[in-house]
Each structure stands twice: as C-alpha cells, then as structure tokens.
Structure 1
Amino acid sequence: MSKLFLFITIHCVSLCSVGVYAQNLDERVITIEEMFSLADRNSKALHSLSTLMEEAVQSVETAKSSRLPDIEASVSVSFLGNGILLDRDFTSSSKAPMPHFGNNFALEVSQVIYAGGAINSGIEISKLEEKKAVLLLENERDKLRFLLVGYYLDLFRQKNLFCVYERNIDLAKQVLADIKAKNREGVVLGNDITRYELQLTNLELARTRILNSIMILNDNLITVLGLPASVRVEVDTTLLSRPMPLNNCEHWHKQALSHSLSLQQEMLTVEMNKRQERVIRSELLPKIAFFATNRFDGPITIEVPPIDKNFNYWYVGIGVKYNLSSLYKANNSVKRGKLATRRAMQHYDDVKEQTELAVRADYIKYMEAYEQLNTQVKNVELATQNYAVVSNRYKNDMALITDMLDASAAKLSAEQQLINARINIIFQYYKLLYLSGIL
C-alpha cells in the first residue's frame, strides 16, 4: 500500500504542477543539491561574508608585516638666526653670527629581534581571525541552506496538498452531482445539497490558500537563489523515494563533535584567548631591537663660532628596552586574560553539551517521524476503505449525507497527514545534517 500510494502521489504532483503553472513556460525542476549551489553563487547574504573573509586574509598579511624592519627617512631645510653670547650672570651680551642656511637628512633603520612573543602571537591571532571568518561564512551558508530546505519542503508539501484537494474536490463534485440527481427524484432534501455545496466551497477556498502559499514560497526561493522572477520552481519528486539513512544516535553525536561549526567557533575563541595571554605576558619581557642610523647635518652648531660645513655620521647598535612599570601593572592584565580563557572554555563545554542534547532530541524526532509515517500509511488505507464503503452505502440509500461528509473529511485529513509525515522525515534528516555541521 505504501509503494502504491507513493507512485500515485508522485504522479499526482507532476500532473498538478502542470495544472497550476501550465500557462508559464519558465518551469524549472531544481534539486536540493542544485539549490544549494545556486545559493552559494547568488545569495547576497553570503557576498558580504566573502568580503569579510578576504579582509581577514589581508589582516594576516598586515600582521606579518610587523616582522619587517622599520625604515624612516627625513629631510629638512631651515633658516638659522644669529646667536647671542651672554656671561653667566646674563651680562656682557654680544652677537654671534651664524650661517643662515641649515639642512638635515636622516635615515634610520630598526629591526625588532625579540619582543617577548608579541609579534608571533599577533600573527597567530590574525590567522585565527581568518579561520573564524571562514567558519562564520560556512555557518551562515548552512543557516541559509537549512532555511532553503524549509522553503523547498514546504513548497513540496503545499503542492502535494494541492493535489489532495484537487482529488477531493473532484470527488465532492461527483457526490454533489449524485445528490442533485437524487433530489430531483425526491429521495434527498435540498438541505443535503446545501451542506455538500458548503463543503465544496470550503475545499475550493483551501485550495486557493494553498496556491497563494505556493506563490509566496516560490518568490522566496527565486529571490534567495538569484533566479528571474518568471521562474517557477518545481520540486524534485524523487525525494519521496530516496531512502534516508538510519544511523544510530552515536553516529550523529560523533559527526556533531567533529564538524559542528558552533563548536569549532568556540574552540577558536579559546585559542585566541590563549594567544592574547601570550601578548599580555610579553609586557613582562624586555624588547630587543637592532638599529642603524645615518645623519647628514649642516651647519655644525655645537662649535662656537659655528662651522659652516656639513657633517655626516652614522652608527649601528642593539637596544634593549624594558618597561619597569609592567612589573606592577601587567599582573592584573595577566589574571584577566586567564579568566577570559577559562570563561571561553566553559562556554565551549556549554555549547558542546547543548549541541549533544539538540542532536539527541532531533534524532528522537527523526525516528518518531518514521513511526508516524507507518501510522499514517495505515490511516490512509483505512480512511480510503471507509470512504468507499460509506459512498457505496450512500448510493444505495443506506447512509446519511452526514456520514459522507465525515468520511470525506477523514479521508482528506489522513491524506494530508501522510504527505506531512513523508516530508517530515526528509526535514528531520536535513535538520540532523544541519546540527552536525555537514549540511
């Protein structure tokens, strides 16, 4: 019975799709995999994150440039006024002529040899920021994919329900025609016709709402996928016949612990805090740098009277710098860094626990979806049999119109629930993929 209903459902979906959008030539069957590919290429939400990732890559190169030497060059010209000579008691002043044109050229090169690990730690932090940007892009991509899966399966559900309503409207019209014939024969009352016409009107209204939902979902999909407005998305009906994996809960837990993007982001935060601790500790260590300087100055004003000549000199050396105040200032920063790292690790443990709980909960729902499917297959079989029996009895004047209404409503409800059960299995499977970070 399950395979037979599957065949009928797939056939009905294809027929109804033609009926709904027969006037539009831009129908396009899109698989879930193709939908993901289109979203990766065309989604505007992902474009900005791609730029953010490029920015993070450039930040790494900027951090690496800290290893390069610093080179400074300066050139200046000046006008020197005459000097004044005074005794120590500020008396007996006399004018000291000066060369009026002054020039200066300086070239200074310095290279950090040791900075307590601050430079390397800064580069490592930038690399972790780059990885974090990549994970952020992947996380947003997975969120978008899961959102699209929801749209896609909801579109599938609505189109299937449209077929169900089409079949039931046809059945209702047949019954209504029979009732009107019997009314003309004086067998049934006009009130029975009114009640069944009311049911038919409600069915047609529900069908209209489904069509509106299909249009809205189609608009959502083509907007995110970057497709033209004229495209009408047709779902891949082979989804119903695809076997979904029945791995155990432990398998999904392992997948989540290995691939969960949330866990990877939290672990990166822990690593970044550890690197930041090293940067803070570097304040407690001396800084060593190599330097070389060449200066070309004139005139020579350190002599009296000044010498109107240029003087070029150079020197090289190694300098050691130590901030003594770090001995009593950096300790608080080190303690704060340790607390930040501990808090990040605690948050990682919390996210890990919540991920495991979420995977287990959705695995239970995944298994429950299979049980629900088996139940709904049986319900459809029973509801169809009941409808056939009641319809036959009604035709032979052995049942009331209320019995027909109840049987029709039960059949419609059972078919709706069966469609939802089949699609719910697919949804729960993709949700497990999403939670495990392998969507």
Structure 2
Amino acid sequence: MNSKTMKLCSIGKLLKQGMYPLFFSVSVCSLQGQTVNSTTIKLSLLEAIRYAKGSNKLIDVLKTEESATKLDIEDAKMGVLPRIQSNAVYQRYTKATLFDGVLGDPHQIPKPPDPNAGALALESSFNVYAGGRQRSVITDLERKNELASINTREQEANIGLQVALQYLDMIRLYFQERLIKDQLARAYTRLKNINTFYANGKVTKSDVLRAEVVLSNVLLSETANKNDYLISNQKLNTLLNLDGFTTIIPVDTTSLILYDSLLLEELLQDYGGSYAILKAQKYIELQENRTRLVKSFNLPAVAIFGGYGFNYPNTLLFPAVAQTLGVGTAGIRVTYELSSLYQNKDKVRSSRLRETALKDQKRWIAGNVQQETKALAIKYHEAVTRMQVIIKSIEQAETNFNIQNTKYLNQLTLLTDLLEADNLYQESRFNYIQANIAALSIYYRLLFITGKL
C-alpha cells in the first residue's frame, strides 16, 4: 500500500446499509475498578494485552519459577563463604578386658587414664581455588535464571498474541452481525414484496417459498454468529482470568489500523528479539559454562583451614593424662585427583560436541524464524491486495444487486437472479472484513515472532 494506514471503518460508504459504528468514543476506566460492580467491561486491545500479561495463571507459574531460580543463585553465592563446623562429643568407656597371651586369664581394668572422654571443637575452612568450579556453578544458575526470564517473556507475548487474535475475532464477528442484520432487513423487505406480488397473481407460490427459505437461512446465520461471538468472549475471559459471565466490549478503533510496508520491513530486519533465538543462545552459553565446569575437575583444589578444640583426656602426650587439652590448628590443603586425567577426558569432549550441536541448532532456528517471518509478510501483502480488489468488487456487487432488485420489482428478471446478486453482495462484504482481520492477525503474529509483542 502507498498510504501509511487504512482503517476498516473507512469503508462505511461501501457498507452503508445496516452498518453502525463498532466502537464507542468513551474513556476507558481502570479494569479493576470496572470489575468490582459490573460484569460488562470496555477494553482496548492494548489494555486487554497488558491486563492478560499481569493476570494470566500460566504466566504466574513461570514468574514463580523465575523467582525460584533467583533464590538458587543466592544460595550458590553463599558457597564462596567459609565453611564453619562445630562438634561436641562425650563418651564413657566400659572396663577394658585384658587377656594374658592369646585368650588366657582374662581380667578387667578401668580405661586409663579415665573412663570418661569428650571433645569440643570449632573448625573453619575456606576454598581458595578449585579451578573456577564455584564460579561455574553460579554462572550455570545465572544462565538458568536468564532462560527462565526469557520463558516468562515469551509466555507473556504468547498470551498477548492469543488475546489479540481473540479480540480481532470478536471485531470480525461484530461486523458480520451488522452485515447479517443488513441482509436480514433486505430479506424481510423482499418477502413482503413477493407476498404482495403473489396476492396480485404476478409470481408463483414457488417464489414465496424460496424467499421464506432464504429468510430462515439468514436468521440461522444470525443465531450462529451470535453464538460464535459469545464463545469468543468466553475464550477472551479465560485468557484474561475473568469470570466466564463477564461481557467484554471492544472499544479500540486503532486495533483496525493496517500498517504500511515500511513498518513491515523494519520488523523483517530485526530478529534479535526472537524468543526462539534468545533461548537458543542461552542454551549455548549454558553448555559452554558446563564445559568449563567439567574441565575444572582436571585442576587442583586449594583450601585453607583452621580450628580450635578441647579434648579430654589429654592423648597428645604419652601416656595419656587425665586432663583437658586445648589446642588449635591452622594450615593449607592442596588436593589433586590424578584419576581426572583419564576419567574427565571423554566428559570434556562430549560437552564440546553438545556445544557444536547447539550452535548448529541456533543457526537452523534463526533461518527458520527468517523464513517464517518472510512467509507471513507475503501473506500480509496478499491480504492487503485482496482488500483493494474486494473494495472494487463490493461496488460492482452493490450495483449489480440494485439493478437486479429493480428488475425484479418490475418483473423483468427471475427471483433466482436477485438472490444470486444478493448473495454475491453479501459475500463480497464478508470477504473484506475477513481479509482485514486476517492482515491484522498476521501483523500480530509477526510482532510475536520477532519478540516485539
């Protein structure tokens, strides 16, 4: 399109019979305030999307998981702090049984220097170096938290997309109801005229019966359309976490704006916000960190430690003395697991292979996102082109209907020709509404795929 915007309501001159304004020029109050005392809510499209993002139950579940991963990070950070242990023990020995020789002449004596024994100690250790193992654990949890955040935002966008599609569907059904009422008025008028012709002997009973059948079919279409609107309203209530009996009235005229090709091209040039690509990148970063974690087991670990304790009896001397001994220790501990040289070799290789696979997967996802967005852009332009063609067909169908209606009133054509003209006129207007809503639905899908919804 050359113009920047096109509004559905702008074709009012083409859909002039029976068409009433869809939207109301009213200021929309706060949603929470409206739900307190009323079961009817006036909502704009953006307001509905915003409210759904804040109230949908599935989004709440993902937000809870995101909060849990934040606590996991805090817990992992506590691991860098010194470990402090305390212990206290008391025990009493029985008399010791002594045997002369192998098992000869047993006799018992109290345990020297005292049958009582106990200890009280406080120990502390601090990890100085472990190949970056603790840092890798923290980074791993940070990546999981970032992934949980992306999942939350993706679900919010997904709910927003569902709300937008459902909202647009309600608009489509509303306009279709207006068109059906217009057709219904024509059917009633036509039946009245045919009954007059029949009374004057100008037409046969067949025309009367056919007109009655057409009227019945239009009434049935009206009922089906109302039921579809009710079902669409209930689906939107579910997405917004509202009571099933709440009636939602769409009030946002801007939701019917069609955007020009320049804005569409901007969407096609930026895929950085795509949730699928963002998640693929986080999985790569997560696997790279896990590779570093596996490699850390090939490196030595260094820790410093210290403690102070009391022991009874004093076994530091020989022979043991029945006295309490207080003594402290401090030192440095270096450990290196030699078996890691051959045990971790395959683990490191498998982790690197997974990195390569994830990078290939990301490239495939990026290509798939680009292909999908370009396909949607093609369908968007197709829908806009179809609307331009249909506008002309509406004019032609309306002219044809007026001609056939005039001819039939003058008994110059058959009822079959008039009904065919009426159906063609109605169908062309239906097609315009469907093409308009289809184009808008494609646009919101593009917003979702590119991460801008």
TM-score between the two structures when normalised by the length of structure 2: 0.90
Instruction: Return the alpha-carbon distance in structure 2 between the equivalents of residues 116 and 304 of structure 1.
Output: 42
Distance 1:302 1:109, change over 3 A: closer
| Partner secondary structure for residue 216 of structure 2 | helix
Match of 1:40 in 2: 53
Matched residues, number: 431
CA deviations 1:119-157 (Å, max 9, x no partner) are 111111111111101000011111111111111111111
Match of 1:62 in 2: 75
Letter in 1 for 2:19: C
**Aligned residues of 1:38 and 1:226 also touching (Cα < 8 A):** no
Letter in 1 for 2:58: A
Letter in 2 for 1:326: S
Structure 2 unmatched ranges of 5 or more: 1-6, 25-37
**Aligned residues of 1:387 and 1:408 also touching (Cα < 8 A):** yes
Match of 1:392 in 2: 406
CA deviations 1:345-380 (Å, max 9, x no partner) are 111111101001001000111111110110111111
Match of 1:108 in 2: 123
**Aligned residues of 1:13 and 1:237 also touching (Cα < 8 A):** no
Q: Aligned pair 1:164/2:179, yes or no?
A: yes
CA deviations 1:230-279 (Å, max 9, x no partner) are 431122351366341422765323322x1111100100000000000000
Instruction: Return the alpha-carbon distance in structure 1 between the equivalents of residues 79 and 65 of structure 2.
Output: 22
- Higher percent of residues as helix: 1
Letter in 1 for 2:422: S
Task: From 183, 189, 200, give the equivalent of 1:185.
Answer: 200
Match of 2:447 in 1: 433
**Aligned residues of 2:147 and 2:279 also touching (Cα < 8 A):** yes
Q: Aligned pair 1:261/2:275, yes or no?
A: yes
| Partner secondary structure for residue 109 of structure 1 | strand
Structure 1 unmatched ranges of 5 or more: 18-24
Instruction: Return the alpha-carbon distance in structure 2 between the equivalents of residues 308 and 290 of structure 1.
Output: 32
Match of 1:152 in 2: 167
Letter in 2 for 1:112: N
**Aligned residues of 2:14 and 2:394 also touching (Cα < 8 A):** no
Aligned-residue offset at 1:421? 1.3
RMSD: 2.3
Instruction: Return the alpha-carbon distance in structure 2 between the equivalents of residues 4 and 283 of structure 1.
Output: 70
The worse-fitting range, judged by mean Cα deviation, of 274-283 and 294-303 is 294-303
Letter in 2 for 1:123: I
Q: Aligned pair 1:242/2:242, yes or no?
A: no
Q: Aligned pair 1:12/2:26, yes or no?
A: no
**Aligned residues of 2:298 and 2:340 also touching (Cα < 8 A):** yes
Instruction: Return the alpha-carbon distance in structure 2 between the equivalents of residues 246 and 265 of structure 1.
Output: 29
Instruction: Return the alpha-carbon distance in structure 2 between the equivalents of residues 343 and 240 of structure 1.
Output: 42
Letter in 2 for 1:310: T
Match of 1:82 in 2: 95
Counting only pairs closer than 5 Å after superposition, residues 306-385 of structure 1 correspond to structure 2 as 306-385=320-399
Match of 1:21 in 2: none
Q: Aligned pair 1:222/2:237, yes or no?
A: yes
The worse-fitting range, judged by mean Cα deviation, of 92-101 and 167-176 is 92-101
Letter in 1 for 2:66: M
Match of 2:213 in 1: 198
**Aligned residues of 1:13 and 1:159 also touching (Cα < 8 A):** no
Q: Aligned pair 1:420/2:434, yes or no?
A: yes
**Aligned residues of 2:8 and 2:436 also touching (Cα < 8 A):** no
CA deviations 1:379-414 (Å, max 9, x no partner) are 111111110010011111111000111011101111
TM-score between the two structures when normalised by the length of structure 1: 0.92
| Partner secondary structure for residue 220 of structure 1 | helix
Instruction: Return the alpha-carbon distance in structure 2 between the equivalents of residues 216 and 414 of structure 1.
Output: 25
Aligned-residue offset at 1:95? 4.1
Letter in 2 for 1:31: S
**Aligned residues of 2:97 and 2:109 also touching (Cα < 8 A):** yes
Match of 2:140 in 1: 125
| Partner secondary structure for residue 12 of structure 1 | coil
The worse-fitting range, judged by mean Cα deviation, of 330-339 and 423-432 is 423-432
**Aligned residues of 1:259 and 1:437 also touching (Cα < 8 A):** yes
CA deviations 1:88-130 (Å, max 9, x no partner) are 8676766442222221112110100001011111111111111
The worse-fitting range, judged by mean Cα deviation, of 84-93 and 228-237 is 84-93
Instruction: Return the alpha-carbon distance in structure 1 between the equivalents of residues 409 and 39 of structure 2.
Output: 45
| Partner secondary structure for residue 61 of structure 1 | helix
| Partner secondary structure for residue 249 of structure 2 | strand
Instruction: Return the alpha-carbon distance in structure 2 between the equivalents of residues 128 and 198 of structure 1.
Output: 66
Letter in 2 for 1:204: L
**Aligned residues of 2:40 and 2:246 also touching (Cα < 8 A):** yes
Aligned-residue offset at 1:310? 1.1
Instruction: Return the alpha-carbon distance in structure 2 between the equivalents of residues 275 and 200 of structure 1.
Output: 70
The percentage of aligned residue pairs carrying the same residue is 23
| Partner secondary structure for residue 126 of structure 2 | strand
Aligned-residue offset at 1:42? 1.4
